Amino acid sequence: MVDAGVGGAPTGNLHGMQVIRDLVGMVAPSGGSAVTIGAYDGVHCGHRHVLGLLSEGAAERGLETVVVTFDRHPATVVRPESAPLLLTDLDQKLELLASAGVDTTVVVRFDEARAKELAEDFVTEVLVQGLDARLVVVGSDFHFGHGRKGNVALLTDMGARHGFETVGVSLDAQDGEVVSSTRIRHLLAAGEVRQAARLLGRLHQVRGVVEHGDGRGGSVLGLPTANLSVPGEIAVPAEGVYAGWYRRPDGSRYQAAVSYGRRPTFYDEARPLLEAHLVGFDGDLYGEEGQLSFVERLRGDERFQTVEALMAQMEADVAWTETLLAAEEQ
């Protein structure tokens, strides 16, 4: 999680990365900055390709690297009815950017006023006056500003007048395949968590608080589970059973047999529930914030004719999880 003082503070530090949440009074880095702009949802391999080029360009010019991102996905304001599910919440996104070696991340509040802002005004306020940009690196299909009229061509034109160079980068970083947050969301929706991990450059992870569930995991089925309540805007893989990892707030990690589904053996209609059986764990998890990472989909969500049949399958799922994850660690 973010270091003390960063959470909602105007300025803070996260693992050596400065986090700025208030544009008022923002001081540009001494000597100028190399900047990239975007939602950066997932901080996937395509994003890291851009960040790598940004870092190289900054090093050549003696500049600090800056990511300008937003406190929410712009689509939630511009087109809320079709806004995508998120691959990362803001805290996780900041952690991933810090791990990529970014010097500073500026979190811009995206609201109705920002959505109506002209692209030219955003460039002047944030890039020129706020950050003294000398280099701007963005995806070649990047758009911003009211009506999405801001693009690489506009940045190039304004850069010529304000003293910054613009570089548009293709995100085709995986064997010619387009690496995008949209593509990764589609893979997760199909349960293809291993393919999604290849494009993310890491396992897909969700975070949430452990809450009370149906109460039958340990008492009825013999396998206690942690029921993770994940915010509704976060992308969870397709319903089914997965092998994964559960990480506790103290950093300890456990193999986990994960079920995401509607418990069709017990219910005809129910909301999906995300449950994880932690292999080898015996204790109380209620109220803690857990992190669940998905390694492999084992099977779909199924209705069993008897509780005994379900219990036998769950035991097989746990055994398969242990075997698969043991092999992953070798």
State which residues form the domain around 322: 203-329
Q: Give a yes or no: residue 306 inside a domain.
A: yes
What angle in degrees, to the nearest 10, is found between the helix axes of 193-200 and 45-61? 10
State the DSSP code for 176. T
Q: Is 90 exceeded by the pLDDT of residue 279?
A: yes
The answer to whether residues 45 and 164 belong to one domain is yes
Q: Is 50 exceeded by the pLDDT of residue 6?
A: no
Label residue 70 left, alpha or beta by phi (over 0 means left) and psi (-120 to 50 means alpha).
beta
* Count helices and strands in the chain by DSSP H and E runs: 9, 13
The answer to whether residues 214 and 305 belong to one domain is yes
pLDDT digits (tens, 9 = 90+) for 138-160: 998 899 999 999 999 999 999 99
The answer to whether residues 141 and 248 belong to one domain is no
Q: How many CB atoms lie within 10 A of CB 13?
A: 15
The answer to whether residues 211 and 97 belong to one domain is no
The answer to whether residues 143 and 38 belong to one domain is yes
Q: Give a yes or no: residue 174 inside a domain.
A: no
Q: From residue 100, how far is each of 55, 259, 283 by CA, in Å? A: 10, 31, 35
Q: What is the CATH number of the domain that holds 20?
A: 3.40.50.620
Q: What is the CATH number of the domain that holds 305?
A: 2.40.30.30
The last residue of a domain, from among 120, 151, 169? 169
Q: From residue 126, how far is each of 111, 239, 299 by CA, in Å? A: 16, 42, 48
Cβ pair 250, 302 in contact under 8 A: no
Taking residues 113-123, what's their average pLDDT?
96
pLDDT digits (tens, 9 = 90+) for 190-220: 999 999 999 999 999 999 999 986 655 444 4
- How high is the mean pLDDT of the chain? 89
Rounded Cα–Cα distance for residues 36 and 34 (Å): 7
Rounded Cα–Cα distance for residues 32 and 322 (Å): 51
Q: Give a yes or no: residue 184 inside a domain.
A: no
Which pLDDT band, with edges at 50, 70 and 90, does 302 fall under?
A: confident
Q: Give a yes or no: residue 198 inside a domain.
A: no
Global confidence as pTM: 0.89
* Number of separate domains in the chain: 2
Cβ pair 35, 135 in contact under 8 A: yes
Residue 167 confidence (pLDDT) = 97
The answer to whether residues 156 and 254 belong to one domain is no
Residue 313 confidence (pLDDT) = 86
Residue 215 confidence (pLDDT) = 55
Q: Give a yes or no: residue 226 inside a domain.
A: yes
Q: Is 60 exceeded by the pLDDT of residue 265?
A: no
Taking residues 122-151, what's their average pLDDT?
95
State the DSSP code for 232. T
Q: Is 50 exceeded by the pLDDT of residue 5?
A: no
Q: Which of 106, 114, 111 is nearest to 11 (CA)?
A: 106
The answer to whether residues 101 and 222 belong to one domain is no
Cβ pair 15, 95 in contact under 8 A: yes
The answer to whether residues 211 and 136 belong to one domain is no
Q: Which of 229, 318, 309 is nearest to 266 (CA)?
A: 309
Residue 3 confidence (pLDDT) = 41
Taking residues 103-127, what's their average pLDDT?
96
Q: Which of 40, 133, 55, 167 is nearest to 101 (CA)?
A: 55
Q: Give a yes or no: residue 72 inside a domain.
A: yes
The answer to whether residues 69 and 156 belong to one domain is yes
Which pLDDT band, with edges at 50, 70 and 90, does 267 fall under?
A: low
Which pLDDT band, with edges at 50, 70 and 90, does 319 fall under?
A: very high
Token couple for 29? 């880095």
Q: Give a yes or no: residue 187 inside a domain.
A: no
Cβ pair 238, 189 in contact under 8 A: yes
Q: Give a yes or no: residue 185 inside a domain.
A: no
Rounded Cα–Cα distance for residues 108 and 124 (Å): 14
Name the CA radius of gyration of the chain, rounded.
Answer: 22
